[in-house]
Structure 1
Amino acid sequence: MSLNWSKKKPGSGSQSHFKVNSRGHAGRNINQRKRTLIVSMFVAVCLVAAWLGGTLIDAKLFSTRLELRNLFPSLQHPFGTDWLGRDMFARTLKGLALSIQVGLIASACSCIIAAALGLAAALGKTADAIVSWLIDLFLGVPHLVALILIAFVFGGGMKGVVIGIALTHWPSLARVIRAEVMQLRSAEYVLISRRLGKSWWWVASRHMLPHLVPQLFVGLLLLFPHAILHEAAITFIGLGLSPHQPAIGIILSESMRYLSTGMWWLAFFPGLCLLLVVRSFDILGESLRRLADPRRSQE
């Protein structure tokens, strides 16, 4: 029996093939991350431009001018004018800026509540049971119903809307933060700090909170769409912002009585812009969550 020895190193072909595949897979991951970053930056720039445009716009552009009332959309008035001659493009930009402002304040307050309750769950079994009960209680109540009741109790307006959204949109994020805190509580560095006599406040602020900041930031962006839509919803039914403020909900509510006369642009363009802003925040939040999650970033 003869043995045939080959000069080719065993497994050399499979190793080179593995290297090619790994490089190609890494290249695809890098390209996907670059595309996600580009999309996130583009969406963020558009949202900042919309907010700045509505904040810095001249008040004269949406003042009453009866000689320009009920004008069809044109180059001079892209969104047309309403029954008082007010430019709908300027009113829509102002309403979007106001909605973004309300959504930012309310979402930030919700994130603070979620972080506080999530960290409080690590104090012990009793605290964890109370936090879990509060999360289940608020999740069992429809957001819009609770939001209407809270906004009505606090007198409506921007204060009532912000408080209502802040007190009704934290449970989902709090459940995620609580799960992360439960995992961090059993980490070695946390146990060592506790054995060294460090307080729970020191451990939570030095060890746990830095790990929760990315999730809180992503949660802030993901809460934005819900906050803006719910603000527009309760404003539409008259329980939100003041009628003197050019909010999107007020614009849509006022335009309902004029749709039957053929003035479709009064509701179409503001509603479309609201949906675009909501979808933009949704895309931005999902993109950042994909980048922050090491498992999903390699998909």
Structure 2
Amino acid sequence: MLAHNGAAARTAGAGEERTVFHRPAPLGAGGSRRGLLVWIAVAAAALVVVGVAGALLAPVANASDFAQANQAPSAAHLFGTDWMGRDMFARTLAGLATSLAVGLVAAGASSVIALALAAVAALGGPAADAVVSWLIDLIMGIPHIVLLVLVSYALGRGAAGVMVGIALTHWPSLARVLRAEILQLRAQPYLACSEALGVGPVRLALTHIVPHVLPQYLVGLVLLFPHAILHEASITFLGFGLSPEQPAIGVILSEAMGYLTAGSWWLAVFPGLALLTAVLLFDRIGSAVRALVTPEEVQR
């Protein structure tokens, strides 16, 4: 028999011995619930600080000074300056704040679509389930970038086009998970009793189903954020997202491509690292939230 460390672990139960085939690895020093909560709070606070600082530095990010153009990183300009003399530190923070705002709104809308369609599929009968399943397969069968570009271009690009495109393309995976959870919940006897007592489907969903799938929904919502931010930056980099006047990370990276051959490496390195850091923070928050709602993964 296989076990986590190569041998089967045996634990004594109530008067009997049972074999444990797999024991999740400890999460380390921060594996306790308190440690996970502290990590989530610190990471979320860092993202909030970046968003607020970026919003406050938006006027500075757009201020041009051609006398300071194309300067390498220094004490006066931590991330250097671009070809228009704009401070890249302020521009990176402002761009990251814009990308975070667009990603958060788009991911939130996409998660609501996923929850609504999962509830319709699980509670609306075989016909509704078939339609939702067909929609999931259809959206998942089209590459995200292609569909995002088409939706954004059809809506005139800009922030609205990007958010609508992300919201309409990122819900299928979460909808699949929530649909499976709701279908499993439907097999519980207390739901059958509620239906027999005349409880309507809307009240049934609000009082029993939504509270049950809320942990899975929150985990999926958090994990949607990094995908939304990366895809927003991707289509903006390709020229189908936010307008060049907006200091978004995708705009900054797209503009920097024409100056890398001249040795201005800082125009792309620091904004790229900032985007990567934000995505990793969201990913770690999602992993911590998933550990909190999965008791066997948390040290007690």
TM-score, normalization by structure 1:
0.88
CA shift, 1:294, in A, is: 2.2
**Structure 1 unmatched ranges of 5 or more:** 1-13, 16-24
The answer to whether structure 1 residue 163 and structure 2 residue 143 are counterparts is no
**Aligned-residue RMSD, C-alpha:** 2.1
**Aligned residue for 2:232?**
231
> Is the 1:62–1:88 contact (alpha carbons within 8 Å) kept by the matching residues of 2?
no
**C-alpha distance in 1, partners of 2:82/2:29?**
49
**One-letter identity of the residue aligned with 1:213:** L
What are the superposed Cα offsets for residues 218-255 of structure 1, whole Å, 9 maximum, x if unpaired?
A: 11110011100100010001100011001100100111
The answer to whether structure 1 residue 285 and structure 2 residue 293 are counterparts is no
The answer to whether structure 1 residue 102 and structure 2 residue 102 are counterparts is yes
**C-alpha distance in 1, partners of 2:183/2:295?**
20
**C-alpha distance in 2, partners of 1:29/1:245?**
42
**Aligned residue for 1:139?**
140
> Is the 1:72–1:81 contact (alpha carbons within 8 Å) kept by the matching residues of 2?
yes
CA shift, 1:175, in A, is: 0.2
CA shift, 1:28, in A, is: 8.7
Deviates more, 1:205-214 or 1:90-99: 205-214
**Aligned residue for 2:111?**
111
CA shift, 1:295, in A, is: 3.0
**C-alpha distance in 1, partners of 2:210/2:40?**
25
> Is the 1:106–1:166 contact (alpha carbons within 8 Å) kept by the matching residues of 2?
yes
Q: For residues 222 and 28 of structure 1, do their structure 2 counterparts lie closer, same or farther at Cα, with a shift above 3 Å needed?
A: closer
TM-score, normalization by structure 2:
0.87
SS in 1 for 2:71: coil
Between the aligned residues of both structures, percent identity stands at 51
**C-alpha distance in 2, partners of 1:235/1:31?**
37
SS in 2 for 1:257: coil
What are the superposed Cα offsets for residues 97-121 of structure 1, whole Å, 9 maximum, x if unpaired?
A: 0011001110011111000011001
**C-alpha distance in 2, partners of 1:58/1:160?**
22
Deviates more, 1:220-229 or 1:205-214: 205-214
Computing the radius of gyration from Cα coordinates, the structure with the larger value is 1
> Is the 2:58–2:91 contact (alpha carbons within 8 Å) kept by the matching residues of 1?
no
**Structure 2 unmatched ranges of 5 or more:** 1-11, 14-23
Q: Runs (4+) of structure 1 moved beyond 4 Å?
A: 27-31
**Aligned residue for 1:54?**
54
Say which structure is richer in helix.
1
Alignment of 1:58-97 (within 5 A): 59-97=59-97
**Aligned residue for 1:216?**
217
> Is the 2:161–2:241 contact (alpha carbons within 8 Å) kept by the matching residues of 1?
yes
Q: For residues 200 and 61 of structure 1, do their structure 2 counterparts lie closer, same or farther at Cα, with a shift above 3 Å needed?
A: closer
Aligned length, in residue pairs: 276
